[in-house]
């Protein structure tokens, strides 16, 4: 399922339907989409792009540079347009890309997206050397803290104890704040499906409501007993919403 060619690494599954590109968040990776890929790829071609957030030059750390990376990826695959599905900062990248290249985006699915409200970092996260703190912050991403496995906590802890990774992480967070999309969203014409966890602590429910209010062609769906990563905590329910949206709109 995972391919690596040139500068790109991506997950690929499915052989029919619309092309869908998955964009992960700041502390995530393509593995975050998990079982959801199995459900959606039965009806559509799915690409999960690894954004390689902690590789490359620290001077190119911004959500705009990630949007440019997506543009290069689509050109590399020969995709003239796609549906973008983004979680957290991945949603923000999808919005920036859609503003710059509207002809290349046929629709958006946003879940726990940044772009209006940035609280993903907390006031002091990440705190180096304190694994219990890292575990607590990781568990807060989910409604069910058990989803924050030891493997996931270890991954976040490793990032939090690498000086260069920390600088990049803070750079992305500051870039996200600078690129607030509030004034741009009313001009979006494409269909947008908003899927939000009712217990999202990172981008709380009022953020979803503001997205819905500002995006003229949007629909908003809630998933109960769910935190910031709906596609991870409730992959089947999430996928049903996505597939219905795609069937209704395209």
The pLDDT of residue 214 is 97
146 contact partners, CB below 8 Å, separation of at least 6: none
Strand order in the sheet with 45-49: 2-5, 8-13, 45-49, 19-23, 82-87, 105-111, 192-197, 218-223
Mean predicted confidence (pLDDT) in 18-30? 91
**Dihedral sign for Cα atoms in the order 241, 192, 18, 34:** negative
Decide which of 2.102.10.10, 3.60.21.10, 3.40.50.1820, 3.40.50.300 is the CATH code for 2-118+179-249: 3.40.50.1820
Res. 3: pLDDT tops 60: yes
Res. 11: pLDDT tops 90: yes
The pLDDT of residue 127 is 58
pLDDT tens digit string along 131-159?
Answer: 888 898 889 999 999 999 999 999 988 88
The mean of the pLDDT values for the chain is 92
Mean pLDDT check: name the lowest of 20-24, 37-41, 136-140, 203-207. Answer: 136-140
Distances (CA, A) of 207 to 78, 194, 215: 34, 11, 12
pLDDT tens digit string along 170-220?
Answer: 889 889 888 999 999 999 999 999 999 999 999 999 999 999 999 999 999
The pLDDT of residue 55 is 87
Domain ranges of the chain: 2-118+179-249
Mean pLDDT check: name the lowest of 107-111, 123-127, 153-157. Answer: 123-127
Q: List the beta strands (DSSP E) in 94-245.
A: 105-111, 192-197, 218-223
Mean pLDDT: which of 24-33, 42-51, 169-178 is highest?
Answer: 42-51
Determine what percent of the chain is predicted with pLDDT higher than 70: 95
- Residue, of 134 and 118, whose pLDDT is higher: 134
The pLDDT of residue 27 is 81
Got the DSSP string for 17-73? Answer: S-EEEEE--TT--GGGGHHHHHHHTTTSEEEEE---TTSS-GGG-SHHHHHHHHHHH
Res. 119: pLDDT tops 80: no
Mean predicted confidence (pLDDT) in 49-65? 88
**CB 17, CB 44: distance < 8 Å:** yes
Residue 242 region by backbone torsions, left for phi larger than 0, else alpha for psi between -120 and 50, else beta:
alpha
The pLDDT of residue 170 is 86
The pLDDT of residue 131 is 87
Mean predicted confidence (pLDDT) in 122-139? 72
């Amino acid at each position: 399922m995972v391919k690596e060619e040139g500068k790109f690494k991506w997950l690929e599954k499915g052989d029919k339907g619309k092309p869908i590109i998955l964009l992960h968040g700041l502390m995530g990776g393509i593995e975050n989409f998990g079982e959801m890929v199995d459900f959606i790829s039965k009806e559509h071609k799915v690409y999960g792009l690894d954004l390689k957030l902690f590789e490359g030059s620290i001077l190119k750390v911004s959500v705009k540079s990630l949007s440019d990376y997506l543009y290069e990826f689509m050109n590399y695959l020969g995709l003239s347009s796609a549906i973008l599905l983004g979680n957290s900062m991945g949603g923000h990248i999808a919005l920036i890309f859609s503003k710059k290249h509207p002809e290349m985006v046929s629709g958006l699915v946003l879940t726990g997206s940044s772009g209006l409200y940035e609280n993903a970092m907390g006031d002091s996260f990440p705190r180096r050397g304190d694994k219990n703190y890292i575990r607590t912050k990781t568990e807060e991403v989910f409604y069910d803290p058990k989803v924050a496995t030891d493997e996931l906590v270890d991954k976040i802890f490793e990032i939090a104890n690498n000086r260069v990774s920390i600088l990049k992480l803070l750079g992305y967070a500051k870039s996200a704040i600078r690129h607030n999309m509030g004034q741009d969203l009313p001009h979006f014409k494409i269909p947008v499906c908003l899927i939000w966890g009712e217990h999202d602590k990172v981008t709380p429910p009022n953020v979803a409501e503001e997205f819905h209010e500002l995006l003229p062609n949007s629909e908003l769906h809630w998933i109960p007993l769910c935190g910031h990563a709906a596609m991870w905590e409730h992959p089947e329910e999430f996928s049903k919403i996505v597939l219905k949206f795609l069937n209704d709109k395209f």
